[in-house]
Structure 1
Amino acid sequence: MIAPVIEKLSSSHPNAIFLKVDVDQCQTESQEFEISAMPTFVFIRESKELDRIRGADAKTIEATLAKHYKDKLPFAGEGHSMLDTSSTQTSATSSTAESDHQRLETAAKERFGNIAGQTMTTIRLRLPDIATPINIRLSIDHTLNDIRHLLCSTIELFEITPFEFLVSPATKITLDEENKTINEAQLTNAVIIVKKLPM
């Protein structure tokens, strides 16, 4: 089985996004990427295909990932603008993201704390505009819905922007699953991606 290998690679390569696509459900993607054999692994950067592997050869997958993987965080580089703007806007955005990061971790500590006698876990949240994952320590009896409320009450963007949770390798978490405890949903020590949805 290749799934455990992919899960391990997903955990050890935090700057790569792993998407699992059911070609029966996602026929458009299947046709677009010309998937004719199962499993097929397509390596993409900036909408361009870099490599393709047909079959479940773990060593080839690891070697190909190592060849294309970048340690640099996806949102950590310098941007370029064609407009004549000063760098103050970029640094303001950067400091806003940094303050959101700190505010969210502080709010999580206040809200969830360390509760004596309860089993605790750490959820790593990857937010769209913050390069560094946010570590949230909470009891396994809490739910993702509790984390949703934390995000909405702490970061202004999430008050007005709909979003969903994805668990690596990019499997959507349903609203029903959000109401299960972290333990029931088998999300202890998970890396969870917060994805903005179109309005």
Structure 2
Amino acid sequence: MVIDFSASWCGPCKFMEPVLNGMAAKFTEVQFVKLDVDELPGNDEKHVMNLKISGDLLDVAQEFGVQVMPTFVLLKKGKEVDRVVGAQKNDLEKKIEKHRDLVAAT
């Protein structure tokens, strides 16, 4: 699984949107999840990557140590196996390729 931590105000995040759509089409066995940290907090529970998440998505970003948008976290069974910070499309594609078997079908 690849989690895309982004924000609505983030120019590089907007640049990466079509790139991620292309990667999702290429790596069909990998699940891509976008978490916009600007989403309003709520008391409802969110189910993301089979983890029960309560509260603000900004808290989730903090749990993962995300300080820069965009940040892409590659997970296998809820555990981080790699990450890419910034709009580094080539690095992201290489890391997805490298961990393809790990991040597929999380």
**TM-score range with shorter-chain normalisation?**
0.5 to 0.7
Alignment coverage as a number of residue pairs = 74
1:22 equivalent to 2:36? Answer yes
Which amino acid in the other structure matches residue 69 of structure 1?
R
TM-score computed with the length of structure 2 as normaliser: 0.63
Q: Which structure has the highest strand share of the two?
A: 2
TM-score computed with the length of structure 1 as normaliser: 0.35
1:21-170 to 2 correspondences below 5 Å: 21-25=35-39, 26-70=57-101, 74=105
Structure 2 Cα separation of the partners of residues 74 and 2 of structure 1: 23
Structure 1 Cα separation of the partners of residues 75 and 22 of structure 2: 19
Which residues of structure 2 form unaligned runs of 5+? 1-14, 40-56
Structure 2 Cα separation of the partners of residues 44 and 2 of structure 1: 19
Q: Give secondary structure in 1 for the equivalent of 2:98.
A: helix
> Of the two structures, which has the highest relative contact order with CA contacts closer than 8 Å and spacing of 6 or more?
2
- 10, 19, 27: which one aligns with 1:13: 27
Q: Give secondary structure in 2 for the equivalent of 1:20.
A: strand
Moved over 3 A (4+): none
Which amino acid in the other structure matches residue 44 of structure 1?
L
Structure 2 Cα separation of the partners of residues 34 and 23 of structure 1: 13
**% identical aligned pairs:** 32
Q: CA deviation at 1:24?
A: 2.4
Which residues of structure 1 form unaligned runs of 5+? 76-199
Structure 2 Cα separation of the partners of residues 55 and 70 of structure 1: 23
The structure with more radius of gyration: 1
Structure 2 Cα separation of the partners of residues 74 and 40 of structure 1: 21
